[in-house]
Amino acid sequence: MATTYANVTVVGADHDAVLAAVATAVGDGAALVTDTADGMTMVFAAADEEAARFGEGLTAAALSDACRCTALEVTVFDDAILQYRLYRDGAELDVGVVATPVALELAELAGGALPEADAARLVARLGRGDEALAGRALSSDESIGTASDRHAWLVEALDLPRCAPGWGYRYLISFPDGFDGGPLTPVGSAGPQEDS
């Protein structure tokens, strides 16, 4: 299987508030949290990568509600599908899936339709970013490469932490030395420890 991961960018909350909200959201589970920089904190929750929760935005919704802020969950499945969910104050503001051939095929097999990835809507509701570049990142017509590559373009377009693409909880636990997003604070039951 190719790269599959989920992560959440919390925008507009301080680090202590995010840590407290993550502890409540994960309960008996585990998460890794970056330092807050430029008002943004990355959260990598183990539960978001479980099959029953994958792509559901549950951690993002809980964090945006608890911190009264904005949270963006991005999920990548098998490096072929990119989905995002945007929340503010616990309410879902936007959801979109890049309409790649694999995503369209899976939607058809499930008897449903994809929620359209809309760059203008995402940039407006997030309140930051370059709409033109986001449009390219979310366009299935744009030959970008893998969904992780597309995620990197989206991060650039929205001016989000550059450490997000390619990383989820499982990868951070397995390959912590490859992460370039600074120290991680473990919350809950597992995870690499900060250097003391």
Determine the residue type at 184: L
Residue whose C-alpha is closest to residue 104's, from 93, 113, 94: 113
Cα(103)–Cα(62) distance, integer angstroms: 27
Which stretches of 84-168 are DSSP H helices?
101-109, 119-126, 131-138, 147-158
CB 82 within 8 A of CB 102: no
pLDDT at 3 exceeding the cut of 60: yes
How confident is the model at residue 191, as a pLDDT? 54
pLDDT digits (tens, 9 = 90+) for 87-141: 999 999 999 999 999 999 988 888 888 899 999 999 999 999 999 999 999 999 9
Distances (CA, A) of 113 to 57, 94, 108, 139, 171: 18, 15, 7, 17, 30
How confident is the model at residue 60, as a pLDDT? 97
Distances (CA, A) of 44 to 85, 121, 127: 15, 25, 23
DSSP 8-class letter at 178: G
Under the banding of pLDDT at 50, 70 and 90, the label for residue 189 is: confident
pLDDT at 154 exceeding the cut of 50: yes
Indicate the domain borders of the chain: 5-183
pLDDT at 178 exceeding the cut of 50: yes
Instruction: Report the half-sphere exposure of 72 (CA within 13 A, side-chain side).
Output: 26
Bridge partners, residue 85, by sequence: 73, 95
Token pair belonging to 121? 């809507």
Determine the longest span between alpha carbons in the chain, in angstroms: 52
Cα(35)–Cα(41) distance, integer angstroms: 6
pLDDT digits (tens, 9 = 90+) for 43-80: 999 999 988 789 889 999 999 999 999 999 999 999 99
